[in-house]
Chain A
Amino acid sequence: MSGLARRHPAGPVRGGLPTGRAGFAALVAAYAVLVGLCLTTLVAAGDLGFGRNPWDNLLKTVADFARPSALDVWFGPERLEYRSDDGTVLRVENRREVEAHFLAAVARATWVTFQVATLGSLLAALMALPLAMLVARNLRAPRALAWTAKGVLDVSRAVHTLVFGLVLVGIVGLGPTAGVLAIALHSMGSYGKLFAESIESLDMAAVDAVRATGAGEVQVFFHGVWPSVLPQFVSHHLYVWEFNIRDSTILGLIGAGGLGLLISEAVSLFQWSRLATLLIVVVTLVMAFDALSRRIREALL
């Protein structure tokens, strides 16, 4: 087929949507109208504002964040006295010791977060693999099965991890189990889509060449399909895993274990310096894993 046959002059309609240059202009116009609508309705309702004194609040928050609580382990006062208004000593605290305890709790929670993300991702990948093989169009699974699998993946992708988590905490109770299952159920959708796409992007000419030698179907799979698809699967796995490490730091908010619980505590008690410590840990964890997984993915290419 020549390229000429596929090129559309401006304006024809395909599948109910306009294509070509005019179509794109219409798309941009529709988008502008949508953004305008959002903005004007928010302003009209008086909901678009920055509060009473945003600058003072900003400076105060920045000042609190600028002194992460972890520093107290080394530089904090060894004897901090809490006094009532008339001067009687209520409580004496060794800040260094208290913050050291908190840091140990952070380390434990970080490990739980990592456990939840790791096990959840692996479970999700295992569940998604057969579904992806049904969904991939070039493997020609029976139509009914393919649609069912696609439906399952779409639903699992559409429901947020936190929503799965809330439901699961009610079923299996508080703790990391709910976190692992929540991550698995949501990521299954992402894995399924990514896996199916890499199966569909397979070089079928190479697969046909293996089949043309008279090899059996299983041999064709292990020599033509598997070697091409495996590195992509590993790369997708690292990518979603990394995403889940970010995601599972939040899961503690709903009682599913890990750093999120400490974050929600720090926020509720307005302990911004502790929140700063926690955010430093989260950012470091995510960046470290990101760097590692990028290295591995590059090596796999």
Chain B
Amino acid sequence: MSAAVRLEDVRVVIGGRLLLDVPRLTIEPGERVAIVGPNGAGKSTLLRLIGALIETHQGRVEVLGRRLGPGGDMADRRALRRDTGLLLQGLHLVPRLTARENVLIGGLARLRGAQAVRSWCRWYPQDLAAEADDALAALGLADRGGTRADRLSGGERQKVALARLQLQCPRLLLADEPTSALDPSATRTVCHALCAVAAAPGRTLLTVVHDLELLALLATRVVGMAEGRVRWDRPPGELTPGLLQALYERHAAGKTPASPSEPAPAIRLASA
């Protein structure tokens, strides 16, 4: 079986700045990998690269056995999109659809023939609708299904995006700080749901987290990044506070302090 993610000699330069420099990184199917590191370490860039939202001009990126890049068959590309689940900050819910309809979007790619045509008028098969209701209920949003997405709170939106992911059943899950806007109890709910989505055999989970307490829950392997490079790569059990501190302090002592409110890199570069 091929690797879930394989990067070789990848360098990403945007606006004259080296954002990512990864000579080699392989993630096997079934692994749960957490990426930690200070702001500007290239964590989000790495995730967006694997999610095919940005392109590299140098090196080779392979996801679920397919090489990313321009060209290729449209249906092939769509199949890969279906297999890659994204939970990124820049990817929104559709504001004017209800929470339930947003969840059902996750199941669109599964529909075939007449069912796919009926989905154009938001007419979904019953089993899919039931699945969406179950996914919402599991996240404590049973009574919010009919609420429009733009009237939900930030935490509720994150949960709806997660429920959408649940219907998509992706083989590779990419989550960028999935709990950053949540209170402690919602954080636990979302983490457990994330693990549940990734629980099936062969599912791979790749998360960026700042909350180090969640590492034990979300990861079987932790990758430390700084300045666009992988500094270390080890299981959470071998992690020491000193190791993490060094990762964040190296950045703080760096000669080019990053601006405090550094905006996330533009997400729409090669998505269309």
Contact = CB atoms under 8 A, between A and B. Distances in A.
A210 B81 contact: no
A1 to B, nearest CB: 8
Contacts of B272: 140, 208
B95 A212 contact: no
Interface in B80-114: 80-84, 86, 90-97, 101, 105-106, 108-109
A94 interface: no
A209 B92 contact: yes
B186 interface: no
A222 B119 CA distance: 9
B108 A219 contact: yes
Contacts of A1: 15
Contacts of A218: 120
Contacts of B83: 214
Contact of B271 (A211, A215, A227, A228): A211
Contact of A208 (B78, B116, B271): B271
Interface residues of B, number: 37
A204 B95 contact: no
A227 B81 contact: no
A205 B267 contact: yes
Contacts of A210: 94, 105, 108
Nearest to A218: B120
Interface in A63-89: none
Nearest to B117: A218
A214 B271 CA distance: 12
Determine the interface band of chain A, counting residues with CB < 8 A from chain B: 20 to 34
Contact of B108 (A204, A208, A223): A223
A215 B109 contact: yes
Interface of A is mostly: helix
A2 B259 CA distance: 9
A16 interface: no
B151 to A, nearest CB: 12
B120 A211 contact: no
Given A213-B106, A222-B120, A206 B78 contact: no
B94 A213 contact: no
B179 interface: no
> Which of A212, A228, A231 has the largest count of B CB atoms less than 10 A from its CB?
A212
B91 A215 contact: no
A212 B92 contact: no
B94 A228 contact: yes
Interface string B249-272: 000000000010000000110011
18 contacts: A203-B95, A205-B267, A208-B268, A208-B272, A211-B81, A212-B84, A213-B106, A213-B109, A213-B164, A214-B79, A215-B109, A218-B120, A219-B116, A219-B120, A223-B108, A223-B119, A223-B122, A227-B94
Interface of B: 15, 51, 53, 78-84, 86, 90-97, 101, 105-106, 108-109, 116, 119-122, 161, 164, 168, 259, 267-268, 271-272
Given A206-B94, A227-B94, 6 more contacts: A209-B91, A211-B271, A214-B79, A214-B83, A218-B120, A222-B122
